Structure formats: structure tokens, C-alpha cells
Amino acid sequence: MAHTMTVKGLDVDPETRCRHYHSAIDRIAIKFYCCGEYFPCFECHAAVGCGHPQVWPKDKFAETAVLCGSCGNTLSVEEYLQCSSTCPHCSALFNPGCSLHKHLYFA
């Protein structure tokens, strides 16, 4: 495992894949704004999270909130939204389909 962060969820593997999203490129975890805990996805947060989901407000996009499950680097919301689904630190590919759910994490 390339990181030391605790990532909560269902069946989370060392690269942050979970029961819901487990393809080779599903390798990020998001620190939820509401509880400050990392989860692989919104479904894991709904299952075992705080029960009060809140999205990251735009004025907090400079804060680190995304963990690369491949190298352990943390990205700010801004960095993640601008990274073209590739980790800027290790070049690991992220799932571009995650952009379909960004409204569940970021304002």
C-alpha cells in the first residue's frame, strides 16, 4: 500500500477500490467535507459514513481532498478537477467516469 491514510468503505483494497467501483483505474479516495474522512465513493460514505453528506464549497477547493491510491499523493480539489484523470505525481490513470459524480463531492 502506497499510502497511510485510513480509507473507510466496503471491501476497500490497498489502492482504494471498493465494492462499488473496482476497475483497474478506480484508484482515488475522497475526503468528505462533512466528516473529514476518506471514502472511495459516495455509496461507501452512504453505507458507513457520517450520514450527513456535504460537498466541498468552491472557496475550499485549494484544500487537499483527493488521495491517489497508487502513490499516496494528496491533491487539492482544484488539482484533481484539472488533472485530466491522471495523477500529477505518479501518472497513474484515474477513472474519467468519476466526473459524472463530481456534483456529489464538489460544489
Categorize the per-residue pLDDT at 3 as very low, low, confident or very high, splitting at 50, 70 and 90: confident
Interatomic CA distance for residues 94 and 66, integer angstroms: 11
Please give the pLDDT value at position 45.
98
Per-residue pLDDT tens for 15-61?
999 999 999 999 999 999 999 999 999 999 999 999 999 999 999 99
Grid coordinates representing 35?
466528516
Q: Give the number of other CB atoms < 10 A from CB of residue 24.
A: 10
Segments making up each domain of the chain, as ranges: 28-104
